[in-house]
Structure 1
Amino acid sequence: MTVNRSYLNAVTPSRVLNTIIYTNVILFIISLIFSGRSIHTGFNPFNALSPATDVLVFLGASGKIPIQAYQAWESLITANWLHGSLLHIVFNMLALKTVAPLVMAEYGVFRMFSIYTLSGAAGFLLSVMGNVPLTIGASSGLCGLIGALLYFGRSSKGLRAQQVYQQTSGWIISLAVIGFLLPNINNWGHAGGLIGGIALGWILGYDDRRRENRWDRGLAVFLTGITVLLLAFPVIQGFFLVFF
């Protein structure tokens, strides 16, 4: 029991959020290192400090090409942790820092991570069905978190739920506008993540309906282990290919 309490005390919202952000940043830096002289530079903020496309595919980018050509189904998990430019990762991490704490407050730390991971995979799966050739980024998982908040705000009662619903509705409208105005936005991924988040919010439930239990913790730990393995393998392999 002491070990379990120590473990649970160590898994705090701030530590989980920081770990997710640091992992995204580290993988972005690694993708730049592996790209070498193939890094895309320039004054266009949408392309500044962009890793090479073949490096992103190697590290786990998803889409129709990786899955149909290489049967890289693991990319449904790994693509959620990769980014295509400096602006891309900064925008997504700032959004994550805003959205994730709200989800953790209503669903708990473990369910938040499960929603983030599984809804991200749902977004990339729908991207394949929508014939998106190549896609990466945390926005699918982020849309999943927004979807879970939308479900909470719509199905729960009270002032808090109403505020969450109004806020998330505004985010969804903003995402729709951005998706049509800006280039290279994966609207399929956003839609799949949003739908997945709503579904997972219903399936997993939030604190007002039930507290997190050992099954929630077990699912999150399992998904963490799978994610670490899938991300670590190409990184380790890449370092041997680049430096040895």
Structure 2
Amino acid sequence: MNKKLFFAASVLALSGLMAACGSDETSENTTQDTATETVQNENETATSEETAPEESTEAESADQEEATEEPAEESAEPAQENSVATEGTLTVSESQSYEFYLLPGYELTAEEPNKDVIFSSENDELFMRVETFKPEEADFAFANDSIQQTLKAANEGAELTELPAFEEAEFKSSAVYEIPTENGKVTGAVFEKEGLIVKLTIFDLTDAGVTEEFLNMGKTITAE
């Protein structure tokens, strides 16, 4: 009887020991699993924190590029405008009924009745003769024929070349011609603008190249 009791007590003690060991292993496994999950969560959080600034930086860079590109599109057209109106001085003719913008380095004088001359302050061989007509005095066809005859007389042996007319919408009609001379060229332009017929004759030298400046001043002529 005592042996049986001793055997039963031994079995119970062994079972308790095994249960305790199993519990410790489960606890250790649970602890390890929890620690692993914690480390994984921390790594994911750190990765998210490192990625977020990069995404934000890329978005900010894209916004900055768009902001830089937009103003360039807005400033395209003004560069095509005639700058004489901003750089020149509004000047009124004393012999004819018109006004225009005179660029620095040029002067205006009356040559004879109904004819003015705009000339370079540094070289009076560079000049533009200005003639204006009211609609009842002459029409565009008359002025157009007149300017061609004037240029042909400047060099009878040369060929007259027709250049592109003015593209600006403010000119109702226009025509531009050119003929070479021994040391330069003569350019003629006629246009109708705001009820005024204008005839321009420009004398330029090869080493000067001021025809464009004269034409730009002439384009600003309007009836006073």
Place the TM-score, normalised by the shorter chain, in its bin: under 0.3
Higher-Rg member (1/2): 2
Q: Looking at both structures, which has the greater relative contact order when contacts are Cα pairs under 8 Å and sequence separation is at least 6?
A: 1
User: Normalising to structure 1: TM-score of the pair?
Assistant: 0.23
Which structure has greater strand proportion?
A: 2
